[in-house]
Amino acid sequence: MSALRSIRGMNDVLPDDSHRWQYLEAVVVSVLDSYGYSEIRMPLVEPTALFSRSIGEVTDIVEKEMYSFEDRNGDSLSLRPEGTAGCVRAAIQHNLLATPARLWYRGPMFRYERPQKGRQRQFHQIGAELFGYAGPDADAELIFLLARLWRRLGLQNVVRLEINSIGSLDARAAYRSALVNYLSAHHDELDEDSQRRLQSNPLRILDSKNAQTQGLLDGAPALQEYLDDESREDFVRLCAYLDAAGVAYTVNPRLVRGLDYYNKTVFEWVTDELGAQGTVCAGGRYDGLVAQLGGKATPGVGFAMGVERLLLLIEALDLFPAEPVPSMYVMAMGDAAEQRATACVEKLRDTFPDLGITRHLGGGSFKSQMKKADRSGAQLALLWGEDEVAAGEVTIKPLRGDGEQQRLPEEQLSERVQALLE
RNA sequence: GUGGCCGUAGCUCACCAGGUAGAGCACCGGAUUGUGGCUCCGGAGGUAGGGGGUUCGAGACCCCUCGGCCACCCCA
């Protein structure tokens, strides 16, 4: 019988990697904290309708990438493909929007896609949502927060910001039909994918990778010309905030997002280090979403970052801090010594609650125990054998540097450890 | 969903006119019967992703399948 394995595109995070996840998460959380954002935890499963209504019926995510199923009641449920919809749903449900709110979330998201580097079926996002502010100062806050995060992670030079305004829903609809008009006249010159998108999601043609299609777009009506006044003014003000703060960006007039709920400001942080899946964080404004999901009309802006992609980036640039190693490794030989060692170590843990102490288990020769001590990376080795037990002593040996090992009465152990670790 | 490349020990890889597998690292043990890091010696570890076919004989060739990578697509 063949061994069971994890589902394609859904990976285990092994001990070597989990330290890296913890590092990234800790830095992100500390920046979010410092801007006054609070964590919210939503279920992984929501009513399917939540996603089709918010992300959009005809988007790829809803049409062919969701893990949807019927529960035993016959209700259609889906594994969340993204976090914003659930966050908005929760905020409405628990009346979090009566006053402005700063929220963040993290966790796995699920999309049935072909796995590739930087893209898996269960992937993780950390996102933030800012509710109740319609002005570009709110957009700017999120971008500043992210710029600060990249600096904290050492990524400021490998990640670049692209921004755009896609206008109000009305402006977008007007532009959309103008674009469809223009492109329909050139239908045969479009690549196959873009011909399909002409029906399903015409705005996505703007960021087609096909050279001929891009050439065609040079003569197409421009989104900016259709922007409503308010969107245009807000965008100018956002750019002014960024300029004043010295946050570099490029305006990408062809940047659109794949989810229907966005309006006005959209932005992406992109890197060239990761190949095709180079978008590491993306977001935008969604002023209509709360009302659309049944809440009182409330403006919102947010972003989500891809944890695996950021991890890949930090790894590629070798920016992870050194992995934690224990401070001490404790060995013993013989029953009596095992007892003494265990008792003393537990006392040591009382005295030094934060110290990393690895107790050797499983016996073996001193030689093999010492080898394990060395490989653990510990600074100090503690050792009990027959001689030590008989004398009420313990051997303490520095593993790094050139200090000599010594034997001392057990009562002096704490003091000595203190001194050696300073 | 589409196209291409790939899948041999825990890891990185080799062998290959098709003649039933090998190295380095890691691991375990010994040289040093109470002491690591260096060195030397030895050991364990593989149904060659899985299944089927061609063949006297297949890890090598063919098909299917699973998985990985790259690009498209999609998006974080």
Instruction: Check residues 354 to 413 of chain A and report those whose beta carbon is under 7 Å from nucleic acid strand B.
Output: 364-368, 370-375, 381, 383, 385-388, 395, 397, 399-400, 405
Instruction: Check residues 90 to 149 of chain A and report those whose beta carbon is under 7 Å from nucleic acid strand B.
Output: 111, 113-120, 123, 125
Residue closest to A186 by CA, chosen among A225, A219, A223, A208? A219
Residue A140 lies in a domain: yes
CA of A3 to C1' of B16 (A): 30
The answer on A356 and A236 residing in a single domain is no
The answer on A333 and A250 residing in a single domain is no
Residues 6+ apart with CB under 8 A from A48: A66, A68, A76, A77, A78
Instruction: Check residues 285 to 304 of chain A and report those whose beta carbon is under 7 Å from nucleic acid strand B.
Output: 304
pLDDT at A72: 94
CA of A236 to C1' of B15 (A): 65
Average pLDDT score over residue span A251-276:
91
Task: Give the nearest nucleotide to A367, CA to C1'.
Answer: B35
The answer on A311 and A256 residing in a single domain is yes
The answer on A406 and A348 residing in a single domain is yes
- Of the three residues A288, A316, A344, the one that is the final residue of a domain is A316
CA of A117 to C1' of B25 (A): 26
pLDDT at A47: 97
- Tally of CB atoms within 10 A around A6: 9
Helix, strand, coil percent values for chain A (each to nearest 5): 45, 20, 35
The DSSP call for residue A324 is P
- Of the three residues A261, A290, A316, the one that is the final residue of a domain is A316
Tokens 């490794």 found at = A329
The CA distance from A356 to A77, in Å, is: 44
CA of A1 to C1' of B55 (A): 28
Look at residue A33 and tell me whether its pLDDT is greater than 90.
yes
Task: Give the nearest nucleotide to A201, CA to C1'.
Answer: B74
Task: For strand B, give the nucleotides within 7 A of a protein CB.
Answer: 1-3, 27-30, 32-37, 47, 50, 66-76
The answer to ipTM > 0.90 is no
Look at residue A422 and tell me whether its pLDDT is greater than 80.
no
Cβ A195 to strand B below 7 Å: no
Domain count, chain A: 2
For residue range A130-155, list pLDDT tens digits in order.
999 999 999 999 999 999 999 999 99
A238-242 long-range Cβ contacts below 8 angstroms, 24+ apart: A238/A136, A238/A139, A238/A140, A238/A163, A238/A265, A239/A163, A241/A136, A241/A137, A241/A140, A242/A140, A242/A143, A242/A163
- Of the three residues A316, A343, A375, the one that is the final residue of a domain is A316
For residue range A82-119, list pLDDT tens digits in order.
999 999 999 999 999 999 999 999 999 999 999 988 99
DSSP run (H or E) holding A171: helix A169-185
- Tally of CB atoms within 10 A around A207: 14
CATH number for the domain that contains residue A340: 3.40.50.800
What is the DSSP annotation of A232-284? HHHHHHHHHHHHHHT---EE-TT---SSTT-EEEEEEEE-STTTT--EEEEEE
The answer on A244 and A96 residing in a single domain is yes
CA of A99 to C1' of B61 (A): 71
Query: Could you give the residue ranges of the DSSP H alpha helices within A117-168?
Result: 136-153
Split at pLDDT 50, 70, 90, the class of A59 is confident
Split at pLDDT 50, 70, 90, the class of A128 is very high
The answer on A343 and A365 residing in a single domain is yes
Residue A202 lies in a domain: no
Look at residue A324 and tell me whether its pLDDT is greater than 70.
yes
The answer on A254 and A131 residing in a single domain is yes
Catalogue the E-assigned strands of A271-405. 279-285, 300-306, 328-332, 357-359, 380-384, 393-398
CA of A207 to C1' of B24 (A): 47
The answer on A121 and A248 residing in a single domain is yes
Residue A200 lies in a domain: no
Look at residue A193 and tell me whether its pLDDT is greater than 90.
no
Residue A179 lies in a domain: no
Please say whether the beta carbons of A120 and A111 come within 8 A. no
For residue range A161-170, list pLDDT tens digits in order.
999 999 998 8
- Please state the φ and ψ torsions of residue A388, each to the nearest 5 degrees: -60, -45
The answer on A333 and A311 residing in a single domain is no
Cβ A209 to strand B below 7 Å: yes
Residue A25, helix vs strand vs coil: helix
CATH number for the domain that contains residue A296: 3.30.930.10
Average pLDDT score over residue span A374-378:
92
CA of A371 to C1' of B10 (A): 19
CA of A179 to C1' of B15 (A): 60
Residue A288 lies in a domain: yes
- Which tokens sit at A97? 């929007």
Residue A195 lies in a domain: no
pLDDT at A5: 81
Which CA-bearing residue is nearest the C1' of B70?
A116
Q: Domain range for residue A254?
A: 15-168+228-316
Residue A112 lies in a domain: yes
Split at pLDDT 50, 70, 90, the class of A1 is very low
Please say whether the beta carbons of A9 and A115 come within 8 A. yes
Residues 6+ apart with CB under 8 A from A222: A253
CA of A365 to C1' of B33 (A): 10
The answer on A390 and A242 residing in a single domain is no
The answer on A417 and A302 residing in a single domain is no
Average pLDDT score over residue span A19-30:
96
The answer on A295 and A334 residing in a single domain is no
DSSP run (H or E) holding A106: strand A101-110
Task: Give the nearest nucleotide to A333, CA to C1'.
Answer: B34
pLDDT, averaged across chain A: 93
Please say whether the beta carbons of A153 and A243 come within 8 A. no
- Which tokens sit at A43? 């279920």
Phi-psi region of A208 (alpha: psi -120 to 50; beta: other; left: phi over 0): beta
| Through-space distance between the first and last CA atoms of chain A, rounded to whole angstroms | 55
Residue A63 lies in a domain: yes
Instruction: Check residues 242 to 281 of chain A and report those whose beta carbon is under 7 Å from nucleic acid strand B.
Output: 257-259, 268, 275-277, 279-281
